[in-house]
Amino acid sequence: MAQESLHKYEVVAAGIITMIEDASPHDLLPTERALMEMFGVSRMTIRAAVRKLSETGQVYNVPGSGMYVGFREVFSKSPRLTSFTEDMRSRGLEASSRVLSAQSVRADSGLAARLGLELDAPCFRLHRLRLANSEPMAIEEVFVPESILRLDDLDLGQSLYEQFASRGLQIYRAEQEVLAVILSASDCQLLQVPDGSAAIGVHRVSSSNRGRPIEFARTFYRSDRYTFRMIVNRDEAVQ
């Protein structure tokens, strides 16, 4: 069941991935010019594919030398914008959720600033326990302007992102802040962790492709079950 990719560079990237699967980290890959012939595309298309793969650490380039298979597959996921469901799926877990509350609220100054709203603008707040393989994984608090989705129209049984999409709003981009917190007693109980446990907090403002803020979410992940993994690269020389 081969997926029908639209763009050539995606086909090339998929082809390179199949090469990588049967190779060890730091193995030398064919040169870009050789890949041109193998895939019958121009060099820029090869480089677009390679860029995509090197962003996730699956391959890496050494100028003047060649292109190599990335280190370890465990670490191959750089931070990308994903829904909780996708994130869990990529870790081999099945996501579900339990609604703790859903209510209408008025934006305070902090929320209004984050979502680009007037003070006291109507929003709804959705408070959910997120589970992975039926075990508590995170507590999520989402605020959405009622100008985008009214609480009355909210279908609690359906994915929030799908409901945005059905209104022509697709989330493209997010500003995100990662911090450490100590959970409240009630949150510890919900997550089934010892009292006073630490958690990874993520504050996120998600926006449409037009830069319009769609949601502000505060999520607290169990730190015994969840970590952020990423590959970081340097632009220039070290300090």
Partner DNA sequence: AAGTGGTCTAGACCACCGC
Partner DNA sequence: CGGTGGTCTAGACCACTTC
Residue 17 in tokens = 């991935």
- Residue from 29, 161, 215, 217 touching a copy of itself (CB under 8 A): that is 161
Position 43 contacts a copy of itself (CB under 8 A):
no
**By C-beta, is 86 or 155 nearer to a copy of itself?**
86
Pick the stretch among 98-106, 127-135, 147-155, 179-187 that binds a copy of itself (CB under 8 A): 179-187
Residue 65 in tokens = 């030398």
Position 196 contacts a copy of itself (CB under 8 A):
yes
Position 98 contacts a copy of itself (CB under 8 A):
no
Distance (Å, whole) CA 45 – CA 52: 11
State the minimum distance, in angstroms, from the CB of residue 10 to DNA: 7
- Residue from 17, 99, 156, 165 touching a copy of itself (CB under 8 A): that is 165
Distance (Å, whole) CA 78 – CA 34: 28
**By C-beta, is 30 or 122 nearer to DNA?**
30
Distance (Å, whole) CA 34 – CA 49: 14
Position 223 contacts a copy of itself (CB under 8 A):
yes
Q: Is the alpha carbon torsion for 38, 41, 42, 44 positive or negative?
A: negative
Binder of residue 9, out of DNA, a copy of itself, none (CB less than 5 to 8 A by kind): DNA
Under 8 Å between Cβ of 186 and 197: no
Under 8 Å between Cβ of 121 and 107: yes
